[in-house]
Structure 1
Amino acid sequence: MGEQRPAGSARRAANRARALRWAVGLGAGVMGAIGLVLLFLLTLATNNRALYERNFAWLLGVNVLVAVALLAVLVWGAVRLGVRVRRGRFGSHLLIKLAAIFGLVGVVPGLLIYVVSYQFVSRSIESWFDVKVEGALTAGVSLARVTLDTIASDLATKTRGASSQLAQVPDAAAGVVLERMRDQLGASDMVLWNAAGQPVAGVGQSRYSLNPDRPSAQQLRAARQERISFQIEGLDDINDPMAAENARVRVLVLVVHPGVGLLAEPRYLQATLPLPQALVANAIAVQEANREYQERALARGGLRRMYIGTLTLALFLAVFGAVLLAVVLGNQLARPLIVLADGVREVAAGNLAPKAALQGKDELGGLTRSFALMTQQLADARSAVERSMEQLDAARGNLQTILDNLTAGVIVLDQQGVIQSSNPGATRILRAPLAAHEGKPLAAVPGLAEFAATVQQHFDAFSLDHGHHSLDHWQHPFELHGSGGGMHAQGTSLVARGAELPNHARLLVFDDISEIVSAQRAQAWGEVARRLAHEIKNPLTPIQLSAERLELKLTGKLPDAEQAVLIKSVKTIVDQVDAMKRLVNEFRDYARLPAAVLQPLDLNALIADVLHLYGAETAQVPVQAELDVRCPRILGDAQQLRQVVHNLLQNAQDATLQAAEQQKLPPAPVVIATRWSESAQRVRLTVSDCGPGFPAYILQRAFEPYVTTKARGTGLGLAVVKKIADEHGARIDLANRIEGEEMRGAQVSLSFAPEAAVAL
C-alpha cells in the first residue's frame, strides 16, 4: 500500500501537469489566433481609410484587450516562476534561461523590425508630402480648371454667333431654327425664353419636359447686361462615377432683335452643350488627387499615428506571443529535466517510490521513463537488500543475545590488540568497563596490561606457527591478580582461547574458573581434613597419656633441676597435643559441615540476636549495626548463618585490633550492615573493618583453607563462610576499602536472593 500511494500521487501530479499544459497551450493558441485575426483586420482597415476610421476604436480596444490578456498570462507565469525560484525549486533557473533565450530570439528581431519599420513609416509619410508634389497637383488642378473654362467660353461664343439666326424669326417658327442650330453646335438641349421667363420653343430633352429648367433672375440679368453667360454643370459630385458623362456647359445668350423699338421684347437662348468626357475625367482625377493630398497633408500626424499605432500593436502582439511561446516551449523543454532532477533528489534522499514519467515520444520523455524504470529496479533491489538486512539483523540480534547471555567472556581484537567489541560476560569476568574502552587497546584498560601483553604474545606465536600445525585456536590459563584497590580486587582464574577471524581480527574467549578452582581446592582440603582427622587424631591421645604417665612415674625421683625440666617438657607436650587436637577438630568440622536446611528467616533479626554477644562489656572492638528495615525475608539455615556472622565479626575485630595496636590508637568500630537493592532484587550483608586490609596474593585465594594473615590462624574461617554461602546460593565478595589513596580496611559482602525470588 505504501508504494501504491506514491504511485497514485505521481499519476495525479502528472495528470494535473498535463491538464495545465493543455490549458496553457489552448489559451495561448486561442489568444494567438485572435491576435492574428485582429492583426489581419487591422491591416485590412489601414488600406481603407474610411473603414479604418469607422472601426479604429473597437479594433484598437480588442487588440489592447488581447495584449492585456497576454500580458496577464505572462505576469502569472512570471509570478509562478518567482515563487519557484524563492522556494529553491530545481530547474527554476534553467526555465528562466530557456524562456530568456526563446524570448530574446522572438523579441530582439521583432524590436529590430519595429525600429526599422518605424523609421521607414515616419520618413515615408514625410516624403509623401513634398513641396514639388503639392505644386504639381495645384498646377494640374489650375490647368484643368482653365481648360474647362476655355472650352466653356468657346462653346458660349459659338452659341452667341449662332443666336443671330433667331433675330428675325418669330416665336412660331423658332423651333425649326433651334433644331438646325442644335445640329450645328452639337448641343444636347436648346430652349428659347421670352422676357417674362416663359419658354417660347425648345428642342432636345426640353421638348418633352412640361417645366424645363428656367434660368434664374440673376442669370437673366447677367445675360441682358453682358449679352452672354455660361456655367459648367455636373462637376459638383466628383465621386459620382457618371460625373464625366454628365459634365456640361449651360449657355444663356441674349437674342438681339435688329429692329429698334420700344415694343420689341428681348428673347434669351439657352443651350446645353456637353464637355469632352476624357478631359472632364482627367480634370476630376486631378482634382480628387489634389483633394486627397490636401486632406492627408492636413492629417499627416494622424496618419503617422495610425500606421505607428498599427505597427506598435502588431509588435505588442508579436512580442507577447513570442514571450508566451518562449515560456511554454521553455517549460516543455525544462519539464522533463525538472522531473528528472526531482527524481534524482528524491533518490539521493533515499526515496525510491515510483517516479513520474512523461509520455512524450521525444528523447527527454524516454529518458524520464528510463529513469522511472531504473528507480523501480532500485526500489526492488533495496527491498531485497532490506529483507536481507532484516534477516542479517535478526541473525545478529540472535548472536548478540547469545553473546550477552554467555557466561564466558568474548572479546574481538584487531592485530594491534585494539578492542573492537565485547560482551557483558567479558566485563563481568574481567571486572573492567570494556564497552567504554572500545576502540582502545586492551592494554589501556586499568589492571589488564599484563593480561593484554600475554594474550598478544600468544596470538603472535599462534600466527607464526599456524601453518605448522592443524589447530585452529590456542588455549592458555591465566591468573589475574587484584591490584589491592577497589571493591573487586581479588584475583581471578581464567582459561582463555584465541582464534583468527577471516577479516584479520582476533577472537578471544575466556571463562572464569575461579569457582571451579576454589571448589576443587575446597574439596581437596576437605579430603585433607578427613585424613588429618583420621591419621593425626588417633596418635595424639597416646602421646599425651604417655607424657603424663612419665611425669607421674618420675615425680620425686629426680633432682630438682631434672624435675623442673621434666615438668616443663611434659607441659609442652600436653599443650602442643591440645593445639593439634583443636586443629584436627577444626579440619574435621570443615570436612563434615552438614547440608544447609533452608527456611524463611529475618536476616536483621538474626544479626541483632548475634550482636548481643558483642556488647561493649565483652568486645574489645565495638560493633556498629546499620540494618535496612526494607530487607525482605530470605531462605537460610539460621545456625550456619549465625556461624558466618561470628566468623566475619571475629576476623574484622582481629584485623581492626591489629591495626589499632600498630598505630597506637583506639580501635575503630566494626560495621555490619544490611541493604535491600530494588534494582538487583538482592539482600546484601556487609561487614567492614578498619584493619590493614588484604595483600593481593591473599585476595586471590582468601577463601581457601589455611590461607590467612594471622600468625596463629588456621585460615578456615573464610573457607567455612564461602562454603556456607555456596550452600545458600549467595555470592560472596572480598575487597579492600580505599578512601582517596589510603587503605581503610577490608570488606566482606554476601548477597542473598529474597524468599519470593527463591520460591519462583
Structure 2
Amino acid sequence: VQSAVTNGAEIGRAYVADVGSGLEADMETMSTELGGVRGLFDNRIQFSRALAQIGDFFGYPALYILDENGRVLASGERPGAPPYVAPPREALETVAGGEVAPTTVTENPDTVRALYPLPDYGNTYLYVVRPLAPGLIQRMRNGEESITAYREAEESRARIQAAFALSYLETALLVLVGAVWLAMSAASSISAPIGRLVKAADQVAGGDLDARVDNAEAPAELIVLSEAFNRMTQDIKTQQAALKTASDEAQARSLFIETVLSGVSAGVIGLDRKRRISAINDSASHLLGLDAEHVQGRRLAEVAPELGELSERGEAHIEEDIDIDRNGDALRLRVRIEGGQGGEMVLTFDDITRLVTAQRNAAWRDVARRIAHEIKNPLTPIQLSAERLRRRYRERVGEDVEVFDRCTETIIRQVGDIG
C-alpha cells in the first residue's frame, strides 16, 4: 500500500517537475522572441497581440510582463485562459536576486506558473501560465496526505495495536463478565429450586412427610420434578398410613391368635416352606418338652423327628396317631396337618395318652365283665344244687352231718364270693 501511494505521488511530482523543466526552456526561447518585438512594447495593443501569438505558439494560454513590483505591464491571453493570479512576493525577490524562481502550482484550475527575467525590457519579468491535467493537484495533495497519514499510521501502529488489543481485552472482559453474570443468573434460577428440593428431601428423610416443594417460578422441568416429588411424598404418606393400619390390624390379629393359641390345650406349630418353625404355642412346647424361644427358625425334623417325618410327606391333609418319648414318658399324640404341597403348613396335635389308657381300661373291664358273666352263669345252678342237697339230704347223712354241712357251706360261700 505504501509503495503504491508513494509511487503515485512520485509520478505526480515527476510530472510537475517535467512541466517545470519545459517551462524554463520555453521561457528562455520566449525571452529571445520577445527581444525581437521590443519595438512594439510602447504600442500595448500590438504588443499584447504579439505576446498572445508567442504564447499560442508555445502552447501557453496566457503570458504576462510584470515589473519588479509585480504589476502587469502587458498581457497576452487566449480565450478560456486561467484567471490571473499574482506571483508570490518571494518569487519576485528571488528572480531579482539573480536566482531561478521556483515554479508555482495553483488550483482551480490546476496550473503551473513561473517567472523569468527579461533583460531587454529592463527590470521586467516574463510571467507564464501553463495548465495541468484537471484534478492533478488535488490528487497529488491527496497522495501526499495519504503518504503522511500512512507514515503517521505506521509510526502509531504499535499504539493502535496496543489500543486495539486493549479494546479487544475490554470487549472480551465485558463478554466474559456478561457470560459469568448470565451463567450465575441461570445457575441461581436452577440451584435455588434444587436447594428447596434437597431441603424437602432431607425433611422427608427425617420423617416429615408433610414437606412440600413450591417451585412455581422455577424452570418448567423443575416444576415437573417438584410436582412429581410432592406426589411421591403424598403417596408415601398415604402408603405409610395404610401400612400402619395394616400393621396394627396384623398385630391385633396376631395378639388375638396368640391369645387363642395360648388358651387351647392342643399343641399348634406353624411351619414355613422350608419346614422351619415359624410359630409354636405353649401347649406344643409343653407336650414336646421344647423351649419356644430356642426352636424358632429351626427345622421341625431337628427338634421333633417324629413330627418332622409327617411334615416331610408333603401331603395336603394328614391325620395320624404317633407315639413319642418325652423325658422317659411315652405319649400318644393325635396329629393333624393342614397345608403341605410344598407350601406353608400348620400342625395341631392333642395328647390322647389318657384317652387311650381309659379306652384300654374300659376294654379290659368289658372283657372282665364278659368273663365274669360267663363264669357266673354255671355258678347259680351249683349254688342252688348245694342248697338243695343240704335241705334234702342233711337229715339222711347221719353221723357225717358236720362234714356235709361244712362242704355244702363252703360251696355256697365260694359261689357267693365268685359271684
TM-score (norm 1): 0.32
Q: Classify the secondary structure of the residue corresponding to 2:244.
A: helix
Which residue in the other structure is 1:152 paired with? 23
Following superposition, the deviation at residue 273 of structure 1 comes to: 1.0
| C-alpha separation in 2, matches of 1:214 and 1:457 | 146
Following superposition, the deviation at residue 256 of structure 1 comes to: 1.7
| C-alpha separation in 1, matches of 2:330 and 2:256 | 24
Following superposition, the deviation at residue 413 of structure 1 comes to: 1.7
CA contact (8 A) 2:300 2:307 kept: no
CA contact (8 A) 1:192 1:201 kept: yes
**Which of the numbers 199, 215, 218 marks the counterpart of 2:89?**
215
Alpha-carbon distance change, 427 to 290 in structure 1, aligned in 2, over 3 angstroms:
same
CA contact (8 A) 1:223 1:254 kept: no
Q: Classify the secondary structure of the residue corresponding to 1:277.
A: coil
CA contact (8 A) 2:278 2:297 kept: yes
1:181 aligns with 2:51: yes
Which residue in the other structure is 2:326 paired with? 481
| C-alpha separation in 2, matches of 1:463 and 1:495 | 19
User: Where in structure 2 are the equivalents of 1:488-499 lying within 5 Å?
Assistant: 498-499=336-337
| C-alpha separation in 1, matches of 2:39 and 2:146 | 45
Alpha-carbon distance change, 247 to 168 in structure 1, aligned in 2, over 3 angstroms:
closer
1:411 aligns with 2:269: yes
| C-alpha separation in 2, matches of 1:372 and 1:494 | 68
1:231 aligns with 2:98: no
CA contact (8 A) 2:280 2:292 kept: yes
TM-score (norm 2): 0.51
| C-alpha separation in 1, matches of 2:139 and 2:312 | 131
User: Where in structure 2 are the equivalents of 1:173-572 lying within 5 Å?
Assistant: 177=47, 181=51, 185=55, 186=60, 190=64, 192-194=66-68, 197=69, 199=71, 201=73, 215-216=89-90, 219-220=92-93, 222-223=95-96, 225=98, 229-234=101-106, 243=107, 245-257=109-121, 266-278=122-134, 280-281=136-137, 284=140, 288=144, 291=147, 295=151, 302=158, 305=161, 369=224, 385-405=239-259, 406-408=262-264, 410-414=268-272, 417-423=275-281, 426-427=284-285, 432-445=290-303, 452-459=304-311, 463=315, 466=317, 474=319, 481-482=326-327, 498-501=336-339, 504-509=343-348
Following superposition, the deviation at residue 154 of structure 1 comes to: 4.4
Following superposition, the deviation at residue 214 of structure 1 comes to: 6.4
Q: Classify the secondary structure of the residue corresponding to 2:127.
A: strand
Deviations 1:311-353 (A, max 9, x none): 9779969x979x98xx89x99xx99xx99xx9xx99xx99998
| C-alpha separation in 1, matches of 2:139 and 2:219 | 73
| C-alpha separation in 1, matches of 2:256 and 2:240 | 23
CA contact (8 A) 2:272 2:278 kept: yes
Deviations 1:607-652 (A, max 9, x none): xxxxxxxxxxxxxxxxxxxxxxxxxxxxxxxxxxxxxxxxxxxxxx
Largest Rg, 1 or 2 = 2
CA-based RMSD of the aligned residues comes to 6.2
| C-alpha separation in 1, matches of 2:47 and 2:296 | 151
- RCO (CA 8 Å, sep 6+): is it higher in 1 or 2? 1
Alpha-carbon distance change, 377 to 134 in structure 1, aligned in 2, over 3 angstroms:
closer
Q: Which amino acid aligns with 1:256?
A: D
Q: Classify the secondary structure of the residue corresponding to 2:98.
A: helix
Following superposition, the deviation at residue 145 of structure 1 comes to: 4.1
| C-alpha separation in 2, matches of 1:198 and 1:148 | 23
Structure 2 spans left out of the alignment, 5+ residues? 359-419
CA contact (8 A) 2:94 2:101 kept: no
| C-alpha separation in 1, matches of 2:109 and 2:271 | 127
Following superposition, the deviation at residue 253 of structure 1 comes to: 2.1
Alpha-carbon distance change, 388 to 494 in structure 1, aligned in 2, over 3 angstroms:
farther
| C-alpha separation in 1, matches of 2:19 and 2:72 | 30
Q: Classify the secondary structure of the residue corresponding to 1:291.
A: helix
Aligned residues: 326
Following superposition, the deviation at residue 429 of structure 1 comes to: 6.5
Q: Which amino acid aligns with 1:153?
A: E
Following superposition, the deviation at residue 247 of structure 1 comes to: 3.6
| C-alpha separation in 2, matches of 1:431 and 1:139 | 132
Following superposition, the deviation at residue 225 of structure 1 comes to: 3.4
Following superposition, the deviation at residue 397 of structure 1 comes to: 0.1
| C-alpha separation in 2, matches of 1:251 and 1:308 | 52
Alpha-carbon distance change, 138 to 301 in structure 1, aligned in 2, over 3 angstroms:
same
Following superposition, the deviation at residue 220 of structure 1 comes to: 4.0
User: Where in structure 2 are the equivalents of 1:63-102 lying within 5 Å?
Assistant: none
| C-alpha separation in 2, matches of 1:229 and 1:167 | 27
CA contact (8 A) 1:404 1:424 kept: no
Q: Classify the secondary structure of the residue corresponding to 2:263.
A: coil
Following superposition, the deviation at residue 482 of structure 1 comes to: 3.3
| C-alpha separation in 1, matches of 2:84 and 2:7 | 45
Q: Classify the secondary structure of the residue corresponding to 2:246.
A: helix
Q: Which amino acid aligns with 1:419?
A: I
Following superposition, the deviation at residue 412 of structure 1 comes to: 1.0
Alpha-carbon distance change, 191 to 168 in structure 1, aligned in 2, over 3 angstroms:
closer
Following superposition, the deviation at residue 391 of structure 1 comes to: 3.6
Q: Which amino acid aligns with 2:327?
A: G
Q: Classify the secondary structure of the residue corresponding to 1:463.
A: coil
